[in-house]
Amino acid sequence: MNFESLLSPAKINLTLQVLKKREDGYHEIYTIYQKITLFDELEVKPHPRFELEFLAEENIPIERNLVFRAYKLFTDTYGIKDGFKVRVIKRIPLGAGLGGGSSNAGTFLKFLGQRFGIPKGELLSLGKKLGADVPFFIEDYPSACGFGIGEILKPYPNFQAFYLLYYPGFKVETAWAYRALNFKGEKNPYLYSEDLPPWQDPKGLINDFKNLIYSEYPQFQDFEKSFRRTGAKAIGLSGTGSTLFAVFEDEKSATKAYDLLKNFLKGGKIYLARSL
11 is catalytic: yes
Please state the separation of Cα 186 from the chain's center in Å: 25
User: HEC states along the chain?
Assistant: CCCEEEEEEEEEEEEEEEEEECCCCCEEEEEEEEEEEEEEEEEEEEECCCEEEEECCCCCCCCCCHHHHHHHHHHHHHCCCCEEEEEEECCCCCCCCCCHHHHHHHHHHHHHHHHHCCCHHHHHHHHHHHCCCHHHHHCCCCEEEEECCCCEEEECCCCCCEEEEEECCCCCCHHHHHHHHCCCCECCCCCCCCCCCHHHCCCCCCECCHHHHHHHCCHHHHHHHHHHCCCCCEEEECCCCCCEEEEECCHHHHHHHHHHHCCCCCCCEEEEEEEC
Mark residue 53 as left, alpha or beta (left: phi above 0; alpha: psi -120 to 50; beta: remaining): beta
State the catalytic residue, choosing from 90, 128, 133, 210. 133
133 is catalytic: yes
Q: Closest by alpha carbon to 166, among 101, 248, 255, 246? A: 246
State the catalytic residue, choosing from 11, 35, 90, 128. 11
Separation between Cα atoms, residue 199 and residue 115, nearest integer Å = 39
User: Could you list the active site residues?
Assistant: 11, 133
